[in-house]
Each structure stands twice: as C-alpha cells, then as structure tokens.
C-alpha cells in the first residue's frame, strides 16, 4: 500500500531492513494497523500483530501524531 486516498502525504513509515528501503506514505488522517484484512496496513500472517493492533492519527490542527494501542 503506497498511497491511500488523495492529497499530500503528512508522513511516512519506512522499513529499513530491506534493500532498497520500502516506504508507506500516510495521506489519510487515520491509519489502522493489524492482521485483519480491513486494516489500512494489514499483516495477516504475522502472529505478533493482533487483529486491530494500533491506530496512527494526525491531529490536523497541531500536526501532532498519535499512536494508539487498539488491543
């Protein structure tokens, strides 16, 4: 998943243990992470990740980013 929605990216997630590095641009204000297929970032085979693992949210007014545990 390189892009979600439309608009300009406000952030990105970078995986460094691969060559070349892979990036996921964060465009939507909210991004869900988990094993479930309906998550924005889905890791269905990773047993260390719960179904709805966490949510990354950007506050549009302050620009602050929050990581919320969803377990």
Does 5 fall in a domain? no
Task: Give the DSSP H or E segment for 14.
Answer: strand 11-15
User: What's the CATH number where 47 sits?
Assistant: 2.60.200.20
Number of structural domains the chain divides into: 1
Does 40 fall in a domain? yes
CA distance 49 to 6: 27
Identify the domain containing residue 58 by its residue range. Answer: 11-69
The predicted-structure confidence for 10-67, as pLDDT tens digits, reads as follows 999 988 877 777 888 999 999 999 999 999 999 999 999 999 999 999 998 999 999 9
Asked whether the CA dihedral 67, 12, 46, 31 is positive or negative, the reply is positive
pLDDT for the residue numbered 6? 60
Does 46 fall in a domain? yes
The pairing of strands 30-34 and 54-58 is antiparallel
Given a cut of 50, is residue 1 above it in pLDDT? no
């Amino acid at each position: 998943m390189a892009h979600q929605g439309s608009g300009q990216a406000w952030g990105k997630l970078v995986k460094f243990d691969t060559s070349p590095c892979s990036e996921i641009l964060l465009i939507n204000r909210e991004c869900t992470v988990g094993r479930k297929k309906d998550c924005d970032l889905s890791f269905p085979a990773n047993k260390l990740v719960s179904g709805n693992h966490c949510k990354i949210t950007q506050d549009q007014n302050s620009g602050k980013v929050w990581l919320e545990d969803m377990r």
